[in-house]
Amino acid sequence: MQQFLFKVGRENFLMIHLGMVPVIGATGEPKTKPCQHSVKLLREAGLKPDLLMCRSEVPVDEATRRKLSLFCQVAPEHVISMHDVSNLYQVPLLLAEQNVGSIICNHLGLSASRVARSLSFGCQKDAETMPTQRLADWKVLSDRTDSYTGNVTIALVGKYMGNPDAYASVVKALQHAALEVNLHLKLEWVDSSMLEPNAQQQEPKKYEAAWSALKSAQGVLVPGGFGTRGIEGKVATAGYCRAAKKPYLGICVGLQTAVIEFARSELGWEGANSTEFDEATPHPVVEFLPEASSTVMGGTMRLGSRATIIRDPQSLACKLYGGKPVIYERHRHRYEVTASCVPAFEAKGLHFTGQDDRAQRMELCELRDHPFFVACQFHPEFQSRPAKPGPLFLGLVLAATGQLEKRLEADGGVLKVGAGFQKAC
């Protein structure tokens, strides 16, 4: 860091130091020694903090600020209170209240209006007012987090239940969607292997609990995954949601298991499967990517952002994506729906409404006679944001709470994602 500071110059270098200011004892007296000591060690390394962020349970008072300013040699206005707040979304507002943005711009010689213009993303309104407007929008989001009007229960049916962080992006995307409709997300974690028939014999209590959680949820999501373990449980999940008219969103393998279930139940293709799970299946409705290597796994996935053409403007997928004929979502898969099977699926009611730009790969499918049965080959969770949730996640939450049709009607027939948070533009 010293070398970098010397290279770019003090005017192009800003150091923010996060220090702890604990509150000890019944008196609630803040202790500055931990913060002072950490700054001392930093200075011994030849570095001096420009901003001192004070992590504390309670707001740092003026007396404590002055003390830290004196002993850490940081301007009083550069001593920032980073106390506990009721939700994470309040942190940017807390920083804005203490003029952190202006302090950074002034130190680095940046024009606030220039920074605002670079962040306007084509917004036609005056860039000078953008920061204030965006903070106002963010405050709406923050306030909504503390004032839920109800709950929505979604069953997440996966195989990596030992480490829920495996589905961190999916959970965040569901939270973003629930937040937009002012609901608190309640997740039911369901191990897909506990939904399989053999689990009924081996672990009957877990089997009953898993099915009870699935049936009691308002909506169901099957996320991506690899390998054979728990696959038949995911197939059973798709079948239950299809028959029971329960809102269902399948992602990646969640699409593939929905296709497998439909082939078995509606087309009568006994033993239909993916070649990933059964290489000898008589009906390979999901197959290995033709351009990939079946022996060398490294670098063989179809990865990254790719175009999906929504070929039916009347489809639910098109409505969820705001009527856009082309969307871009991120991919990560080695297997895909067998294109030659698509006509048979569509003849029975499973419509592939989204395809790649060559109309060879199936990207989206849905059932028309179902409140919400949508599955995608891509991973929409990666582009979901707090103030702009992924359209498919928002659609699932709305359908799970019986609000989808009303919301589409209010939005003019197509879903306007994040409309409640985007007043700036």
User: How many other CB atoms are found less than 10 A from the CB of residue 245?
Assistant: 13
Residue carrying structure tokens 């009721």: 86
Percent of the chain with pLDDT over 70: 92
Q: Report how far residue 94's alpha carbon sits from residue 82's, in angstroms, rounded to the nearest whole number.
A: 8
Diameter of the chain by CA atoms?
A: 79
Let me know if 370 is a catalytic residue: no
CB 289 within 8 A of CB 276: no
Catalytic residue among 331, 333, 351, 379: 379
More confident residue, 187 or 164: 187
* pLDDT higher than threshold 90 for residue 164: no
> Would you give the DSSP letter of residue 184?
E
Best CA proximity match to 255, nearest among 269, 279, 280, 276: 276
Q: What CA–CA distance (Å, rounded) separates 174 from 169?
A: 9
**Average pLDDT of the residues in 219-230:** 93
Predicted confidence at residue 424, as pLDDT, reads: 39
Structure tokens at 166: 């495996």
> Under a CB-based contact definition with an 8 Å cutoff, are residues 306 and 328 in contact?
yes
Q: Are 259 and 373 in contact (CB under 8 A)?
A: no
For residue 385, give the nearest of 89, 118, 37, 25 by alpha carbon.
Answer: 89
Task: Name residue, tokens 């990646």.
Answer: 252
Q: What is the mean pLDDT of residues 265-275?
A: 96
Report d(CA 47, CA 15) in Å as an integer. Answer: 8
Identify the bridge partners of residue 379 per DSSP, sorted by sequence position. 330
pLDDT tens-digit readout, 93-131: 999 999 999 999 999 998 877 776 666 544 545 656 667
**Tokens matching residue 47:** 């570095």
- Tens digits of residue pLDDT in 207-216: 999 999 999 9
Residue in this structure with the two tokens 């405050």, named with its chain if needed: 139
User: Environment class of residue 2 by beta-carbon count within 10 Å: exposed (0-12), middle (13-18) or buried (19+)?
Assistant: exposed
267: left (phi over 0), alpha (psi -120 to 50) or beta: alpha
b/e 24-59 (16+ beta carbons within 10 angstroms → b): eeeeeebebeebbebbeebeeeebebbbbbbbbeee
Has 346 been annotated as catalytic? Answer: no
pLDDT, residue 359, reads 84
Annotated active-site residue in 35, 252, 318, 365: 252
Q: Which candidate, 190, 253, 251, 258, places its Cα nearest to that of 381?
A: 251
Is 57 considered catalytic here?
Answer: no
pLDDT digits (tens, 9 = 90+) for 332-371: 888 999 999 999 999 999 999 999 888 889 999 999 999 9
Q: Has residue 277 got a pLDDT over 90?
A: yes
74 band by pLDDT with thresholds 50, 70 and 90: very high
Question: Quick one: how far is CA 121 from the chain centroid?
Answer: 21
Per-residue CA distances from 382 to 14, 18, 31, 378 (Å): 31, 29, 41, 10
Q: Is-above-0.85 flag for pTM?
A: yes
* Residue 293 predicted with pLDDT over 50: no
More confident residue, 227 or 316: 316
pLDDT tier, 35 (very low <50, low <70, confident <90, very high otherwise): very high
Domains by residue range for the chain, with CATH: 1-120+131-142 (3.40.50.300), 151-423 (3.40.50.880)
Alpha-carbon gap, residue 22 to 30, rounded angstroms: 6
